[in-house]
Amino acid sequence: EAAQKQGYDWYMRKEIFEQPRAVADTLLGRLNERGELILDEIRISPETLRRIDKIVIVACGTAFYAGLVAKYAIEHWTRIPCEVEVASEFRYRDPIIDPMTLVVTISQSGETADTLMAIRHAREQGAKVIAICNTNGATIPRESDAVIYTHAGPEIGVASTKGFTTQLVACYLLGLYLAQVRGMKYGDEIAALLRELERMPEAIQGMLDNQQQVLDLAREFVNEPSVLFLGRHVGYPVALEGALKLKELAYIHAEGFAAGELKHGPIALIREDLPVFVVVPPRGRDQLRDKVVSNIAEVRARGAKTIVLAEADDEEARAAAAVFIELPKLSTLLQPVAAIIPLQLFACELATVQGHDVDQPRNLAKSVTVE
Ligand code: G6P
């Protein structure tokens, strides 16, 4: 087993560090020499994909959070309305789906019962199903119309890490492919995003190279009973996933919030020395980043310890931070792939210093095959 962990203390840590390679493998063979997207595995005809009038993403756990990010990207690039739902809720509310609906399911294992039941239901209504999956030949891809494999390699740690980042990349590829097939007029934008995706392994490596800061932080927070995560736009699902990692591994109260919701309730939780992670979007045409920077000031004014993830040259964000974690320059929609890395490392390290079994957290299973 020690040999399989390749010198790492946990499979999870090994898998965190495999992410540059894993993401490179998700991209492998999917871009041609001209930098264009080829997704031959989508065996649903372009005519059918052009007729789709709604996308529904169903998944569980970490894969559901990847789906939340995908919604922002897919709607922005394709202008097709896209919903995301936890698979266990989907079927039981009699969802409106028909042959014009494309259901996208995300599952690392491809065996999650809730997700499987959701796609069976969707196909009974005539919907087309595309699976994003890491496990060759698993039940979910076998029961789908098409599959995009993430090629992350086996994920053994129960808490998903490289599963998540490769799911994000596969979702981006699907979104850009749909935009391409539907003739969206984003030629240059799509090409630029694809080039940026190709640089993603490097961006992740940069985050991993700076791990020491996060490890120190985990040691400092070892006795914290509660940690909050704030994010906006695609930073919101990053906040949710950062909180989930802490719940799963360190068994402490952790919650992710949409930063804009802070004033509608969660701000009541802020107290002296409460650790609050904030994911700051890149500067863009909208005011998102400015609004998140003022959220940092609001929680800081109430004594919270702000751990701010933002672009290195965001001086205002840096000034509002008790601890500043630099993010590489990326498009807003792609930022989650880099921003989640320190949150994974933080949870892994915190649980390690607490003495927990990081690879096999209590009460959890890698793949839940009962509804
Ligand atoms: C379990 C695991 C989670 C995972 C979820 C979905 O609950 O503990 O880490 O995110 O299942 O798994 P899947 O294999 O469908 O992605």
Q: What is the pLDDT of residues 6-38, one digit of tens each?
A: 999 999 999 999 999 999 999 999 988 877 798
pLDDT above 80 for 221: yes
Look at ligand 1, atom 8, and give the residue with the nearest C-alpha.
366
What is the Å distance from ligand 1's center to 60 Cα? 6
Look at ligand 1, atom 11, and give the residue with the nearest C-alpha.
367
Taking the C-alpha atoms of residue 79 and residue 59, their distance in angstroms, rounded to an integer, is: 22
Q: Residue 112 CA: which ligand 1 atom is closest?
A: 15
**Residue 24, Cβ density class (10 Å: 0-12 exposed, 13-18 middle, ≥19 buried):** middle
* Section 272-277 average pLDDT: 96
What is the Å distance from ligand 1's center to 184 Cα? 34
Q: Judge contact between 104 and 78, C-beta under 8 A.
A: no
Could you tell which of 11, 58, 60 is best to mutate to test the pocket of ligand 1, judged by most ligand atoms within 8 Å of the CB? Answer: 60
pLDDT band with cut points at 50, 70 and 90 for residue 188: confident
- Provide the residue type at 130 as one letter: I
Return the active site residues: 366
pLDDT above 80 for 186: no
What is the Å distance from ligand 1's center to 268 Cα? 31
pLDDT above 80 for 283: yes
pLDDT of 362:
92
pLDDT of 202:
98
Report phi then psi at 259, rounded to 5: -55, -35
Taking the C-alpha atoms of residue 183 and residue 201, their distance in angstroms, rounded to an integer, is: 28
Q: Residue 248 CA: which ligand 1 atom is closest?
A: 8
Look at ligand 1, atom 2, and give the residue with the nearest C-alpha.
366
Number of Cβ within a 10 Å radius of residue 208:
17
Quote the radius of gyration of the chain (alpha carbons, Å).
Answer: 20
Query: Residues with beta carbon inside 6 Å of ligand 1?
Result: 60-63, 107-109, 112, 115, 158-160, 364, 366-368
* Section 60-89 average pLDDT: 97
**Residue that the structure tokens 């931070």 belong to:** 321
pLDDT in tens, 162-185: 999 999 999 999 999 999 999 887
Q: Residue 135 CA: which ligand 1 atom is closest?
A: 14
What is the Å distance from ligand 1's center to 361 Cα? 13
pLDDT above 80 for 294: yes
What is the Å distance from ligand 1's center to 109 Cα? 7
Number of Cβ within a 10 Å radius of residue 119:
26
List the helix and strand counts (H, then E) for the chain: 15, 10
pLDDT above 90 for 285: no
Give the DSSP H or E segment for 173. helix 162-181
The ipTM is 0.94
Taking the C-alpha atoms of residue 266 and residue 256, their distance in angstroms, rounded to an integer, is: 10
* Section 275-286 average pLDDT: 92
Give the DSSP H or E segment for 69. helix 61-78
pTM greater than the 0.90 cutoff: yes
pLDDT above 90 for 48: yes
- What whole-number percentage of the chain has pLDDT above 70? 100
